[in-house]
Amino acid sequence: MPELRFDCTTGDWVVFAPLRQLRPHATDKESVPSSPHNLSAEQHCPFCPGNESMTPHEIDAFRDSSTQAWQVRVVPNKFPALQIEEDNRRIELGRIFHKMGGCGAHEVVIESPEHSAVLAAQPVEQIERVLRMLQRRSLDLLRDRRFQAIILFKNHGERAGTSLRHPHWQIIATPVVPRMLRLRYAEAAQFFDREGSCLHQVILREELAARKRILSTNQDFVAFLPFASHLPFETWIMPSQCQPSFSEMKEELFRPLAEIIKRVLARLFVGLENPDFNLTIDTAARGDENQISFCWHIRILPRLSTAAGFEMGSGMSINTVLPEDAAEFLLAGSSE
Amino acid sequence: MPELRFDCTTGDWVVFAPLRQLRPHATDKESVPSSPHNLSAEQHCPFCPGNESMTPHEIDAFRDSSTQAWQVRVVPNKFPALQIEEDNRRIELGRIFHKMGGCGAHEVVIESPEHSAVLAAQPVEQIERVLRMLQRRSLDLLRDRRFQAIILFKNHGERAGTSLRHPHWQIIATPVVPRMLRLRYAEAAQFFDREGSCLHQVILREELAARKRILSTNQDFVAFLPFASHLPFETWIMPSQCQPSFSEMKEELFRPLAEIIKRVLARLFVGLENPDFNLTIDTAARGDENQISFCWHIRILPRLSTAAGFEMGSGMSINTVLPEDAAEFLLAGSSE
């Protein structure tokens, strides 16, 4: 049974999910990123078409209107960090030991029927479908009033914590607002109160003016490597107009967002030779959907280095690549 | 030239140290943890006796009084994250882009002349020498009024970010108090203001009363696996009497501290088969040495799992092992 425990030294809730010890590991079965026609990998893969019975019941899917074959498929995570059946009441085991049931949800969004296609190589329409599904699931999960935040992310590669290679995203609904997100909202709110503008939009304007760290732009989005990136080649994608919540993103933005994601991931794929990375969508928690001090954004976090004792002890990051050098490297030979 | 840049979305300063890209990597030269008499590894190791000329100038050392051979040796890090020559003045590059020189210090404390001895296998007297040297260097570095915090840590194994196998600690003096440490102090101060006691001493008392997560005790220290551990087998060592700063730890405590560190690391070594880990000493920053709301402590952080998108996106941890189960496992067959 998953549970959450409160760390009174930091204000974090920690998820305890002993069941996740049982997860399969990508490396156990497949030694190398498989070729497009690695049949043996596909035969064992619970996310491949034909193996639908290997997953728990389907939650949602987009299907081809003529063939009825699924294009994007959502299933519960078989080894969930949090579960809808659990309770979110606080239990006090003593003066400082507080816990609660592992209440929440943990879903898998299978990105494509193809076992080995990276997201950068998918058609824009397919990326758009994935984004639409992420929003659709977010909106559905938010109907459960116990869930306070929706964490949307994708792991690519072993160093990024992937346990199954077939490309997928994950959605975790948490019964608390993570302290780190509260902190980000608070910093943005303080800036707004002092300066009268959305912090993230000011960042965008200053990055566009500096013209050193921009990776790609279109009419609705900007991709850039932030001035104070925590990781080498860390890349953010942000809407050009402030909007606090991804779950309220307007219809007409899905296409331009899919386009810029494809372009950015392709640059990273080529420049860094298919790096392991995490991609997260930072969006407003419940109740903050209208806080115009904060703008939702995507963070792409290549996992090229290992956090060591300094990072663990201080919480600070050591980045060995200046973001302007990283941007120049990624743009070399391009007209963008 | 290292520099620090301010991340206005979180309040963190990020260290940029392009020079550290040039570091050697343990794995390049030595494929497996070497045997005690792996001469070829020792010939190339800058931390082995006889190779002293391969390091920058010696900062400090303890020597055998009869043979004059060094027992613990301190040298500058050849690829420093921060440097004493840099300036700590803030430079504003625009409304939100603030940076400063990479002012600080980065030293290496070579734990022993032996290339392949793990800390758990060292005699207690040797561990005591290392601890004395860490305190001596902390006190010396704090004489530079620009340095606000001293981060003391040890990396063991590749997954913990080790770049050289010869056992060593590192000391980084930072020109700012890391935000995460400020947060820990603030949580402890709030608790103190509300409850009238040191948070960490209350944690100790509650853990001792619960008797489920205690790994080892002696007259002056307690080692335990915290109720809300962020990582599987995370272990803390804390003094039984509140003291805010490791750099002011009293003379008579070095021996019992060395003893309990040896005992705890031996249990982890045997139980988890020489796991990769980081060890950090969380201690008061400059000016907080007398804040009795906070008690310094050691955190031992085994690196058995990989932080993935959920952790990166939310800042929350997923721990797959309950600390009481981990403690029971480590104590199996013991009379402690």
Q: How many helices (H) and strands (E) does chain B have?
A: 8, 15
CB within 8 Å of B259: residues ≥ 6 apart: B124, B218
A311 Cβ contact list (under 8 Å, min separation 6): A317, A318
Question: Using CA atoms, how far apart are residues A275 and A157, in angstroms rounded to an integer?
Answer: 8
> Does residue B260 contact residue B214 with C-beta atoms inside 8 Å?
no
pLDDT of residue B137: 98
With CB atoms and an 8 Å threshold, state whether B206 touches A94: yes
Give the per-residue pLDDT at B333. Answer: 67
Residue A334 CB contacts under 8 Å (≥ 6 apart), including other chains: A267
Place of tokens 């307007």: A250
DSSP A272: T
pLDDT digits (tens, 9 = 90+) for A26-61: 444 443 444 445 556 788 899 999 999 999 999 999
| Contact across the interface for B209 and A94, Cβ inside 8 Å | yes
Q: What is the pLDDT of residue A333?
A: 67
> What pLDDT score was predicted for residue B30?
42
Which site among A96, A98, A282, A293 would you substitute to test the B interface, given the most B Cβ atoms closer than 10 Å to its Cβ?
A96
Alpha carbon separation from A318 to A322, B56, B102, B153 (Å, rounded) = 11, 22, 11, 15
Give the model's pLDDT for residue A25. Answer: 60
Contact criterion met (CB below 8 Å) for B269 and B120: yes
Chain A's closest residue to B181, CA to CA, is A314
- pLDDT at residue number A19: 80
pLDDT given at position B336: 55
Picking from A9, A155, A184, the nearest residue to B187 by CB comes out as A9
Looking at CA atoms only, how far is residue A256 from chain B in angstroms? 23
CB spacing of B312 vs A153 below 8 angstroms: yes
Residue contacts between A and B (CB atoms, under 8 Å): 254
Find chain B residues with C-beta within 8 A of A228's C-beta.
Answer: 5-8, 12-14
Looking at CA atoms only, how far is residue B295 from chain A in angstroms?
11
Which chain B residues are closer than 8 Å to A301 by Cβ?
A: 312
Q: Could you give the ipTM of this predicted complex? A: 0.93
Are A151 and B313 within 8 A, CB to CB?
Answer: yes
pLDDT at B41: 77
Each as own residue / partner, the long-range contacts of residues A190-199 (CB below 8 Å, 24 or more positions apart, any chain) are A191/A293, A191/B8, A192/A292, A192/A293, A193/A293, A198/A242, A198/A292, A198/A293, A198/A294, A198/A295, A199/A293, A199/A294, A199/B8, A199/B9, A199/B96
pTM of the model: 0.94
* A-chain residue closest to B102, CA distance: A318
Q: Best mutation site among B194, B312, B319, B328 for testing chain A: the one with the most A CBs within 10 Å?
A: B312
Q: Cβ contact (<8 Å) for B206 and A9?
A: no
Share of residues in chain B with pLDDT > 90 (%) = 89
Which parts of chain A sit beneath pLDDT 70? 25-40, 333, 335-336
Query: Which pLDDT score, from 0 to 100, does residue B33 have?
Result: 44
Test A229 with B299 for CB contact under 8 angstroms: no
Nearest CA to A182 out of A53, A11, A20 is that of A11
How far is CA A302 from each of CA A115, A154, A213, A275, rounded to the nearest angstrom?
Answer: 21, 12, 16, 6
CA trace torsion A184, A187, A188, A191 (10° rounding): -170
* Shortest CA distance from B322: residue in chain A: A16
Long-range pairs, A215-221, Cβ under 8 A, ≥24: A215/A264, A215/A267, A215/A327, A215/A330, A215/A331, A215/A336, A216/A260, A216/A263, A216/A264, A216/A267, A216/A336, A217/A260, A218/A256, A218/A259, A218/A260, A219/A256, A220/A253, A220/A256, A220/A257, A221/A253, A221/A256, A221/A257, A221/A260
Contacting residues of A for B315, CB less than 8 Å apart? 12, 178-181, 183
Considering only alpha carbons, which residue of chain A is nearest residue B150? A314
Of A59, A55, A58, A61, the closest CA to residue A78 belongs to A55
Inter-helix orientation angle B124-141/B254-271, to 10°: 120
Tens-level pLDDT at each residue, chain B (336 residues): 899 999 999 999 999 998 887 777 644 444 344 444 555 678 889 999 999 999 999 999 999 999 999 999 999 999 999 999 999 999 999 889 999 999 999 999 999 999 999 999 999 999 999 999 999 999 999 999 999 999 999 999 999 999 899 999 999 999 999 999 999 999 999 999 999 999 999 999 999 999 999 999 999 999 999 999 999 999 999 999 999 999 999 999 999 999 999 999 999 999 999 999 999 999 999 999 999 999 999 999 999 999 999 999 999 999 999 999 999 999 996 755
